[in-house]
Amino acid sequence: MQATGDSGLDIPWAEADAIIFVVDAQDDYFDALSKLNQVILQGYRSNPDIHFHVFINKVDGLSDDYKYDTQRDIEQRVHEELIDSSHEFQDPASTEPFRLEAEVKLRFHLTSVFESSIFVAFSRIQQRLMQEERKTAAAAEEPESGQDDQDKPSEKRISLHDAVEQACNLLCSSCSLEKAYIFDVPSRTFVGCDTSPFDLPLFDVMFQYTKFLTEFSDLYMAVTADTSKSTRTWSASVVRLGSDTSVAFWQLNKYDFNIARFRTTIDQLERLAAP
């Protein structure tokens, strides 16, 4: 018999940063939610820093009203199960009741593999993990106990997530852009955007545009570039969609997503966009 919170899954919990749990919104999800509860309990017990992301998937077949009702229903059920399981984590020495539902890092995403929503969900997860980098970086820079920290520089290292956001904000204000996203083109996810509200129809335009560019770029694969004449090697493209809408694409670096190289690119971008 399984112990409470034993999901039966063989996962190296201590090394996991995030767990994605997919629930089929077009099917009966009660069994899936009790499995999810076991996964959360076991994961949290082994590593309280894990981020749990629940994909409420196949929502393309549901009406808008039903979609949000389903999300509310799932969130509420998961929440209640976490409240019921909280006593398992209660520290007997503490007089404060332990609230697992408040402690666990849990997010829900409405997704469909036939829409951009699944890519938005993966992007959000990526960004949450980039936020986390700040804690690791800050913790690494914290002076060891007993050390004199008077000579420490006062500048705090910000997270990659915040740096991307600042760079996008600067780009928008200096270049009068409505919205700026930084995309990882091969995975079709975005690593960050400016702080103006997320607009799904606007995002979809850009999302389709990057797909179009990727597909189009294959046409040039066989063309041998005359590198002696070339003045630039990175791609750029602008398309005008209407009298007041244009989409512009600039390649920032040459390689697949790499955090260290990407930070350098962001630093350069911030300097360029600075007024």
Instruction: Using only the alpha carbons of the chain, give its radius of gyration.
Output: 23
Q: Which one, 118 or 171, has the nearer CB to ligand GTP? A: 118
Q: What is the DSSP letter of 224?
A: P
As measured in angstroms, the least distance from the Cβ of 27 to Mg ion is 5
| Per-residue buried b or exposed e for 153-175, using 16+ beta carbons within 10 Å of the residue's own CB | eeeeeebbbebbbbbbbbbbeee
As measured in angstroms, the least distance from the Cβ of 116 to ligand GTP is 12
Q: Are 202 and 179 in contact (CB under 8 A)?
A: yes
Question: Which residue among 9, 48, 61, 98 contacts ligand GTP (CB under 6 A)?
Answer: 61
Q: Applying CB under 6 A, does 24 fall inside the site for ligand GTP?
A: yes
Q: Applying CB under 5 A, does 24 fall inside the site for Mg ion?
A: yes
Under DSSP, is residue 57 helix (H, G, I), strand (E, B) or coil? strand
For 62, the token pair is 């549901």
Specify which residues 255 forms β-bridges with. none
**57 touches which of Mg ion, ligand GTP, none (CB within 5 to 8 A by kind)?**
ligand GTP
Distance (Å, whole) CA 244 – CA 211? 22
Binding mask 64-103 for ligand GTP (x = CB under 6 A): ----------------------------------------
Q: Are 170 and 270 in contact (CB under 8 A)?
A: yes
List the interface residues with ligand GTP, window 147-176 (CB under 6 A). Answer: none
Question: Which residue among 9, 102, 113, 138 contacts ligand GTP (CB under 6 A)?
Answer: 113
Distance (Å, whole) CA 188 – CA 184? 6
User: What single letter denotes the amino acid at residue 254?
Assistant: K
Binding mask 41-60 for ligand GTP (x = CB under 6 A): ----------------xx-x
For ligand GTP, the binding residues (CB under 6 A) are: 24, 27, 57-58, 60-61, 112-114
